[in-house]
Every structure is written in structure tokens, then in C-alpha cells.
A and B are shown apart, each in its own frame.
Chain A
Amino acid sequence: METNELKNNIRRLRFEKGEMTQQQLADIAGVTRQTIIAMEQGKYAPSLPLAFRIARAFGVGIEQVFEFTEKPRTENA
């Protein structure tokens, strides 16, 4: 079975951005703090617009915040 993984660096970026709190990031991104917590814990994969909003909040590109690991598919002939 194919298992793709979306990892993120939100927690690290928050601390690099002057110890930004989860609530501050949530307010900027327009989501609840629980959603930020869920993302940091890898329990929630955000939509593309939200991913862009978070990246903009940190002033970095989206690929610096999120890392997508795609496991190769097994070809069935």
C-alpha cells in the first residue's frame, strides 16, 4: 500500500521566528490553535491555501515549511 508523508517544520520555524506562539501563528493563518497543534504533531495535513498562508507567515517558501515524501508505487503488470 502506498504511504505518502507530509512532514512540516512549523515548530522549528516558530522558534526561529522569535518564539512565535501557536496562537499568534493561528491568528495570522486564520485557523484555530488546535489546528496548528494538530499540524505540528503531524495529525493534520492542511489544504494548499492554508499551507501557503503558513509559509507566508514565516516569510519563506512553502517547501521550506512542508516536505512531501512519496513512496514509490509498485508497478503491477
Chain B
Amino acid sequence: MNRMQKIAWFNLIVTLLALGLSVVAFSIGYFVFGAPARQAAAGFGFIGIMGFCGLSPVLFRKDKSKVQYDERDTAIQRKAVGFAYAIFWVLFVAAAMIPWFIIGPNGTITTNYLPWMVFGGMFVVMLLQSIVTLNEYGWRGDGDK
């Protein structure tokens, strides 16, 4: 398994962990303690765990081999980033347009919606980028054998 695969695995696990903990925390607040949805939404603070993804290049040091990164790695990286941002863009447009269609041009929405678009976007990009990267390299380290 090369460094890019390790980073992708780490980012995927951290991203899913952040989502999982957020959903669990929200569910406990909302269903177990009967808190209003707005208060229970504080559980989504666990999304902040995604910040650990920024540590992945430090945690996984460069391989000792002569060549670290080649044209195939570049192609995979481009494909993963391109795919992730293409989907992000579609969702971003949907997130911006759907409320406008539903509540109309004179409606109002809470500004809390804006950071949620940012965090949601980060989540989607990180998740899809990791999945496409692992899909291209292979989910296991078979290629190393």
C-alpha cells in the first residue's frame, strides 16, 4: 500500500467517524433526551473531527523508494479531485437553489445554513476524493505484492 492509499484510508475513516459520531450524538440528544432539534444539532460539532484529515500528510511520511510520485499518481489525484469537486458543485448548486424554490424569493432562512453548506461540502469532497483514490489504486495493498 503506497502513501496515497494510506492517506486516503485515513481520510475516509476520519470522515466516516466524524459523520457517525455526529449522527449518534444528534440522535441521543433528540431521541433519548428529547432535546429540540436545534439544540440536538450541537451533536454535529463532531464534524470538527474532520480537521484531523489535515494531519494525514504528516502522519504518513514519504516512502523510501527512489520515485515517490509519478504520472499515474498525478492522474489518479486529478481524477479523484475532479470527481469530488464535480459532485460538490452539483450539491452546492442544489443547496443554494432548493431553499429558494421552496420558500420563494421573499422567504428567510437562518444563516446557520451557510456554515452547514461549507462543512457539508468539505465532507462530500473528502469522502469522494478518498473513495475514488482507493478505487483507482485498489482498496487493499495487493498491488505491492
Residues of A within 8 A of B (CB): 23, 26-27, 30-35, 37-38, 44, 46-47, 50
What DSSP secondary structure best describes chain A's contact surface?
helix
A35 near B65: Cβ-Cβ < 8 Å: no
Please provide the chain B residues from 59 to 75 with a CB less than 8 Å away from any CB of chain A in the complex: 65-73
A33 near B65: Cβ-Cβ < 8 Å: yes
* Count class of interface residues, chain B: 10 to 19
In the bound complex, residues from chain A placing their C-beta under 8 Å from that of B107 are: none
B65 near A31: Cβ-Cβ < 8 Å: no
A31 near B137: Cβ-Cβ < 8 Å: no
In the bound complex, residues from chain B placing their C-beta under 8 Å from that of A38 are: 72, 143
* Known pairs A30-B67, A32-B65, A32-B67 / 10 extra A-B pairs, C-beta < 8 Å: A26-B67, A31-B67, A31-B70, A31-B71, A32-B2, A34-B72, A34-B137, A35-B70, A46-B71, A50-B71
* CB of B62 to closest CB in A, whole Å: 12
In the complex, what distance in Å separates the CA atom of A50 from the CA atom of B67?
Answer: 14
B71 near A34: Cβ-Cβ < 8 Å: no
- Convert B39-77 into 0s and 1s, putting 1 for each residue whose CB lies closer than 8 angstroms to a CB of A: 000000000000000000000000001111111110000
In the bound complex, residues from chain B placing their C-beta under 8 Å from that of A30 are: 67, 70
* CB of B19 to closest CB in A, whole Å: 30
- Convert B65-102 into 0s and 1s, putting 1 for each residue whose CB lies closer than 8 angstroms to a CB of A: 11111111100000000000000000000000000000
In the bound complex, residues from chain A placing their C-beta under 8 Å from that of B70 are: 30-32, 35
User: Which residue of chain A has the shortest Cβ distance to B142 in the bound complex?
Assistant: A37
In the complex, what distance in Å separates the CA atom of A44 from the CA atom of B65?
Answer: 21
In the bound complex, residues from chain A placing their C-beta under 8 Å from that of B143 are: 34, 37-38
In the bound complex, residues from chain A placing their C-beta under 8 Å from that of B66 are: 26-27
In the complex, what distance in Å separates the CA atom of A23 from the CA atom of B145?
Answer: 12
Pick the most buried of B2, B72, B73: most chain A CB atoms within 10 A of its CB: B72
In the bound complex, residues from chain B placing their C-beta under 8 Å from that of A47 are: 71
In the bound complex, residues from chain A placing their C-beta under 8 Å from that of B65 are: 23, 32-33
